[in-house]
Amino acid sequence: MTPADTVAVYSFRQLDLGVESARVAAFKATREAIERRALGDLLEGTATWVARDEVEADGTWRRLPTGWGELS
């Protein structure tokens, strides 16, 4: 896999309206998606490099559990 085939996704904080506090989102997203869609506050230092084709069209990425107990 070349660097052109990968993209960085980041954790971010989202406002939880139920308790009016910020929580870390259950998924990661590209910097552009977080900024463009105002998903929350990007948490620097949380980058994970993933294959570009694993990222959804809206810029989000979720780790999927496998049958062997590991996350992919």
Written as six digits, the tokens of 26 are 């259950």
Q: State the pTM of this model.
A: 0.76
> Can you give the pLDDT at residue 7?
95
Per-residue pLDDT of the chain (72 residues; tens, 9 = 90+): 677 899 999 999 887 666 667 788 889 999 999 988 877 889 999 999 999 999 999 999 998 766 665 555
Cα distance between residue 31 and residue 60, in whole Å: 10
